[in-house]
Amino acid sequence: MCGIAGEVRFDGNAADAQAVGRMTETMRPRGPDAGGAVQQGRVAFGHRRLRIIDLSERGQQPMVASDLGLTLVFNGCIYNHRELRAELEQDGARFFSDSDTEVLLRAYHRWGPACVERLQGMFAFAIWERDSGRVVLGRDRLGIKPLYLSTSPDGRRLRFASTLPALLAAGDVDTAIDAQALEHYLMWHAVVPAPLTLLRGVRKLPPATLCILEPDGRREDRRYWAPDFAPDPAITALPYKERERLLQLALEQAVRRRMVADVPVGVLLSGGVDSSLIVALLAQAGQRELETFSIGFAAAGGEPGDEFRYSDRVAREFGTRHHRIEIDDTTLLAELPAAIHAMSEPMVSHDNIGFYLLSREVSRHVKVVQSGQGADEVFAGYHWYPALAESTDAAGDYARVFFDRDDEDYRRTVGDAYLCAGASRAFVEEHFARPGAATPLDRALRLDTTVMLVDDPVKRVDNMTMAWGLEARVPFLDHELVELAARLPASDKLSDGGKGILKAVARRVLPAEIVDRPKGYFPVPALKYLAGPTLEWVRDALHSPAARARGLFRPAAIDTLLTDPGRHITPLRGSKLWQLGLLELWLQSHGL
């Protein structure tokens, strides 16, 4: 796990090595163990390293293979690197390291850009072909690893980085707010789908995409993975217990793959079914003295701020070395600015601060953790999925339960210069209309798995863990597991209040009280019921000269929210005031 950056020129001029250096220095927390850079003519690459596989200097990046004419920077982990290495060695390849980085480099030499189809893992990379001058950028199938892009206005230069703030550090970025992205942020629970970001001058490489850059500036984007979301008749015809067995085998394999490391691997244990199932499967596979970590906050608004009773129960059941982290409101407020600064994009979910503080503690014990993100999107665990199963207006029903505002509320909130009503609804309708998903439910699961999940929960976990040099792995986003889930009949997923077949697997290995508990989340009540110093902090930000000059939000809308924040809660139980305040705080944190 690392941070990567680079610059590619298309006008024959030399790449700016100093700009690349500023980008890599900004990403030092992502890779605190080592750094490196290489510049040759029109191409410059930079890297920050977190040592996970092959801890020696032989795994250092940028990795240059002069005999192959290739230079690589890579962020992520290739879980099947040993199997690929054996296959490449049979074809005559000779390795100088034990790293998955070199496996990717030599796989690219052997199979070209199509090598990504053989990779099991999470990754973002850039490869420069010395002889052709071509640069190829790639991102994993489910967007677990980020890759941000910025092109100069004249099209003569492209920069890339693992974080958006790294591109800002390089300079010369159009930082004007993108009105369409702003609508997505406010309507779609802060989901700003690729390639957009809130800044007009920064874009994201979409998941499952290769970007091929020719020396003259021509660009081709290729999507290399698009799973079908429709029940497979052959799988549906199997007895339920056999489908359950197939899922358990796939889960076991996904969890086992994510133990590949030359350092210990822990688990973020919330006490919910998903993270608890990971712990149970690891224990079943023979893991002993597994390190597990949970966090809790002070109660507010009548809501509890922790789920320790469940995480403690799982830890006792499987004999883990468990760590409980309790955060009071004073610490929460003190650390919020740093957590916001660590965001590559503003993310409103209250649990960002939870992951940030949890990751700080976890990084003192381990460098790698497994996390339960993704199960609700992949296995239909959210409350809106059953209604969509019979919907005659799928896009409309989806928007009614998931969007944070309707069009009228949006128009009351946003300044005239940024009004772009209808973009989010149009995006959902267009996505639902694409082939490859059989029913309204399948279309919603595809959208949530390939878009919403990428630009909310997964991005959140990457940002908050990497702020402390901690690598997070998400077994529920193993692409083969996702493909299997997409082919299961809807009834398997919708039963038992959602995630039915996953719960059936969990019942084999977990205590019933964990499987049957009410659905929980990562509670941070103080950010839902804004009051006291936190409310004053948000008030000051939204009334600041910078906010007034920006004019993103109508003053009347801000005053309405500030008067009684607790009355203005979104359908997903978030604070509308926190959405506005967080965006302004994020912009100010990065000097925008």
CATH of the domain at 366: 3.40.50.620
Place of tokens 């996953």: 502
pLDDT band of residue 401 (cuts 50, 70, 90) is: confident
CATH (domain of 23): 3.60.20.10
Pairing of strands 321-327, 291-297: parallel
- Integer Cα distance of 124 and 4 in angstroms: 8
- Provide the whole-model pTM: 0.96
| Mean local confidence (pLDDT), 104-115 | 97
Q: What is the pLDDT of residues 80-95, one digit of tens each?
A: 999 999 999 999 999 9
- Supply the pLDDT for residue 520: 63
Integer angstrom CA distances of residue 413 from 65, 328, 353, 554 = 54, 32, 26, 6
Do 63 and 183 belong to one domain?
yes
- Supply the pLDDT for residue 112: 97
- Integer Cα distance of 164 and 542 in angstroms: 23
Do 379 and 513 belong to one domain?
yes
Pairing of strands 203-204, 157-161: unpaired
- Supply the pLDDT for residue 525: 65
Do 386 and 436 belong to one domain?
yes
Cα-Cα-Cα-Cα dihedral sign, residues 266, 272, 274, 277: positive
Name residue 7's beta-bridge partners. 44, 159
| Mean local confidence (pLDDT), 356-382 | 93
For the chain, percent of residues with pLDDT exceeding 90: 82
The arrangement of strands across the sheet holding 43-49 comes to 34-40, 43-49, 2-9, 157-161, 148-151, 203-204
- Integer Cα distance of 560 and 410 in angstroms: 14
- Integer Cα distance of 55 and 51 in angstroms: 5
Do 342 and 210 belong to one domain?
no
Do 398 and 503 belong to one domain?
yes
* Phi and psi, residue 34, nearest 5°: -170, 165
- Integer Cα distance of 120 and 159 in angstroms: 27
Which of 165, 196, 223 finishes a domain?
223
Which of 223, 239, 269 finishes a domain?
223
Which domain does 201 fall in, by range?
A: 2-223
Do 423 and 558 belong to one domain?
yes
Q: What is the pLDDT of residues 431-449, one digit of tens each?
A: 999 999 989 999 999 999 9
In the numeric block, which tokens belong to residue 464?
């908050």
Could you tell me how many residues make up the chain?
A: 592
| Mean local confidence (pLDDT), 251-258 | 95
Is pLDDT larger for residue 531 or for residue 28?
A: 28
- Supply the pLDDT for residue 305: 66
> Cis before residue 231, ω within 30 degrees of 0?
no
Number of domains in the chain: 2
Select from 5, 1, 343, 16 the least CA-distant residue to 160: 5
- Supply the pLDDT for residue 286: 83
For the chain, percent of residues with pLDDT exceeding 70: 98
Question: In terms of C-beta density within 10 A (0-12 exposed, 13-18 middle, 19 or more buried), how is residue 348 classed?
Answer: buried
Which of 174, 201, 223 finishes a domain?
223
CB 578 within 8 A of CB 558: no
Do 239 and 187 belong to one domain?
no
Do 275 and 189 belong to one domain?
no
Do 357 and 319 belong to one domain?
yes
Any idea which of 265-269, 271-275, 385-389, 570-574 has the lowest mean pLDDT? 570-574
- Supply the pLDDT for residue 156: 96
Pairing of strands 135-139, 121-129: antiparallel
**Taking all residues of the chain, what is their mean pLDDT, rounded to a whole number?**
93
CB 227 within 8 A of CB 482: yes
- Supply the pLDDT for residue 517: 85
- Supply the pLDDT for residue 350: 79
Do 268 and 215 belong to one domain?
no
Q: Quote the crossing angle between the two packed helices 394-402 and 423-433, to the nearest 10°.
A: 130
- Supply the pLDDT for residue 303: 64
Do 189 and 235 belong to one domain?
no
Do 209 and 245 belong to one domain?
no
| Mean local confidence (pLDDT), 232-255 | 97
> Cis before residue 62, ω within 30 degrees of 0?
yes
- Integer Cα distance of 161 and 46 in angstroms: 9
